[in-house]
């Protein structure tokens, strides 16, 4: 029997000024059962996107007119929920790739295209995108269910005695109906402000506002259960009138524990790398300015180590991305071993990592961490029967010795890292030493 429901094949928009490559991509993608649409430049792609929804965009970085990164930025401003963008490039400069990621691309592959790699990249990107959409759908559905069925409702009379309470409220508070009807509101509803454990009468906002003649809303409160545990609530209190006289009120409240947990999970996912579970570039971009500001107030130094793996790309190309991912996982675990509680390690993307040292008291301390990191990454990594030798080049920037803001600190560490690579790799360089050797500050 033929199903009444079917899932249409994923739709992909190809954006490339190279007609031959567009043809090759179309033939390959249609052979993989995808629906394909072509655009020969960025402007045409943006026009198509105003009327058609796609599951994925495959786009060349270098195009006449609007280039790939610029199109990416337009897409992010044009669409409320843009599809993922996979960039293709024949360029060999890392800046173009970095610019694409900053503009919103989720991945990048180089020409000539390795078709099996492209096949797997597309599958992974589409799966990740579907998972995100499903998470958002579930979150929306959950919100509707909570609003429709899980609200606690309690009514009080003019003397603030409980006159009615619904089953959802009883369940949340862990009490029976005969335990609460007729009781004073504050005897049953022990309330504290979020972030405190003070459930005394003085902290109850409902008593403080009991004479109000309009509704009031609180979203940062906690209620105490009968068993002594507490839970966060979002609640609204509304007065009941007889004529112009307030004769009671209704409290509608919702346990938002799972909502807060979901929000925390979403925040965590936004700030952490999906492969290594390390903090990602988003987290680092927020954390570094905060660390510099704190160091400035306290009159102390902080150090930034910019780490680039020396021989990761050949391993990734030779053994495939699955092996490459496992290598990165082990690299992440080794980097964690170099840290103290006050320090942090982040993955910026690809094979680039940073270590932020916030409690180092001397340059020697930073150099020791860098040397220890190099030694750890020098040890071969065994993955699926392959012994992989990686190594790393590290650049060190120090605040306030050679920078005064986050952007400059990252740039200086990057410059020092490239100097380490120029001098033979598998070593570290201080930015201050690079400047001293050059005889002037590197712009």
241 - beta bridge partners?
A: 246
Closest CA to 16 of 6, 29, 2: 29
Closest CA to 373 of 345, 347, 335: 335
Is 16 in contact with 67 (CB distance < 8 Å)? no
Strands (DSSP E) found in 42-82: 56-60
Closest CA to 432 of 303, 346, 342, 296: 303
Cβ-defined contacts of 145-151 (< 8 Å, 24+): 146/254, 146/259, 147/254, 150/254, 150/255, 151/252, 151/253, 151/254
CA dihedral (325, 328, 334, 337) positive or negative: negative
Is 203 in contact with 242 (CB distance < 8 Å)? no
* pLDDT at residue number 438: 63
- The tokens of 178 are what? 């005969």
Each residue's pLDDT tens digit in the chain (443 positions)? 444 445 789 999 999 999 999 999 999 999 999 999 999 999 999 999 999 999 999 999 989 888 999 999 999 888 888 999 999 988 776 788 888 888 889 898 888 889 999 999 999 999 988 888 888 888 777 555 544 556 888 888 988 899 988 888 999 999 999 999 999 988 888 888 766 666 665 556 665 555 566 777 887 788 889 999 999 998 888 888 888 888 888 888 988 888 888 888 888 898 999 899 999 999 999 999 999 999 999 999 999 999 999 989 898 888 888 899 999 999 999 998 888 888 899 999 889 999 999 988 899 999 999 999 999 999 999 988 888 889 999 999 999 999 999 999 999 999 999 999 999 999 999 998 777 666 554 45
Kindly give the residue spans of alpha helices, DSSP state H, lying in 299-430.
312-319, 321-336, 363-378, 406-422
224 - beta bridge partners?
A: 230
* pLDDT at residue number 3: 45
Residues in the chain: 443
Compute the distance between CA of residue 249 and CA of residue 214 in angstroms, rounded to an integer: 10
* pLDDT at residue number 146: 40
* pLDDT at residue number 208: 57
Widest pairwise Cα distance in the chain: 86
Sheet holding 344-349, edge to edge: 344-349, 352-357, 302-309, 392-399, 428-430
* pLDDT at residue number 296: 94
pTM confidence score:
0.54
Catalytic residue numbers?
A: 351
Compute the distance between CA of residue 3 and CA of residue 173 in angstroms, rounded to an integer: 47
DSSP secondary structure string, 150-219? --EEEEEETTSBEEEE-HHHHHHHT--HHHHTTSBHHHH--EEETT----SGGG-HHHHTTT-SS-EEEE
DSSP secondary structure string, 357-390? ESS--SHHHHHHHHHHHHHHHHS-EEETTEEE--
The answer to whether the peptide bond before residue 112 is cis (omega within 30 degrees of 0) is yes
| DSSP three-state, residue 290 | helix
Compute the distance between CA of residue 166 and CA of residue 304 in angstroms, rounded to an integer: 57
* pLDDT at residue number 1: 41
Query: Domains in the chain and their CATH numbers?
Result: 11-146 (3.40.50.2300), 150-259 (3.30.450.20), 272-438 (3.30.70.270)
Residue with tokens 């796609």: 54
Is 151 in contact with 168 (CB distance < 8 Å)? yes
Compute the distance between CA of residue 340 and CA of residue 363 in angstroms, rounded to an integer: 16
* pLDDT at residue number 442: 47
């Amino acid at each position: 029997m033929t199903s009444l429901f079917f899932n249409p094949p994923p739709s992909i928009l190809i954006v490339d000024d190279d007609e031959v490559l567009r043809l090759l991509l179309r033939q390959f993608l249609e052979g993989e059962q995808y629906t394909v649409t072509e655009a020969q430049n960025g402007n045409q792609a943006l026009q198509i996107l105003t009327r058609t929804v796609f599951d994925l965009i495959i786009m060349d970085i270098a195009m006449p007119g609007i280039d790939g990164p610029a199109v990416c930025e337009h897409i992010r401003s044009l669409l409320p929920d843009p599809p993922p963008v996979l960039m293709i490039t024949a360029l060999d400069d890392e800046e173009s790739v970095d610019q694409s990621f900053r503009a919103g691309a989720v991945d990048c592959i180089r020409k000539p295209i390795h078709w099996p790699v492209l096949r797997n990249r597309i599958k992974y990107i589409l799966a990740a995108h579907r998972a995100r959409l499903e998470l958002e759908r579930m979150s929306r559905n959950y919100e509707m269910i909570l609003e429709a069925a899980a609200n606690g409702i309690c009514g009080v009379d003019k003397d603030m005695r409980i006159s009615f309470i619904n089953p959802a409220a009883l369940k949340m508070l862990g009490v029976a109906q005969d335990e609460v009807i007729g009781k004073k509101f504050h005897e049953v509803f022990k309330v504290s402000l979020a972030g405190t454990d003070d459930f005394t009468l003085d902290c109850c906002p409902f008593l403080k506002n009991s004479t109000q003649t309009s509704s009031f809303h609180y979203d940062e409160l906690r209620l105490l259960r009968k068993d002594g545990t507490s839970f966060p609530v979002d609640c609204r209190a509304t007065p009941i009138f007889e004529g112009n006289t307030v004769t009671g009120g209704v409290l509608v409240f919702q346990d938002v524990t799972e909502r807060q947990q979901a929000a925390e999970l979403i925040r965590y996912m936004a700030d952490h790398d999906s492969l290594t579970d390390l903090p990602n570039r988003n987290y680092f971009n927020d954390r570094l300015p905060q660390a510099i500001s704190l160091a400035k107030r306290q009159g102390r130094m902080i150090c930034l180590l910019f780490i680039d793996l020396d021989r990761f790309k050949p391993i990734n190309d030779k053994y495939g991305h699955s092996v490459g991912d496992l290598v990165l996982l082990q690299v992440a675990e080794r980097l964690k071993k170099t840290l103290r509680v006050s320090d942090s390690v982040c993955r910026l993307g690809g094979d680039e990592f940073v270590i932020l040292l916030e409690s180092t008291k001397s340059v020697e301390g930073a150099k020791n961490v860098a040397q220890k990191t190099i030694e750890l990454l020098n040890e071969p990594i065994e993955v699926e029967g392959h012994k992989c030798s990686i190594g790393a080049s590290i650049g060190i920037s120090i605040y306030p010795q050679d920078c005064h803001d986050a952007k400059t600190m990252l740039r200086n560490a990057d410059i020092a890292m490239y100097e380490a690579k120029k001098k033979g790799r598998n070593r570290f360089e201080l930015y201050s030493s690079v400047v001293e050797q050059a005889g002037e500050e590197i712009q």
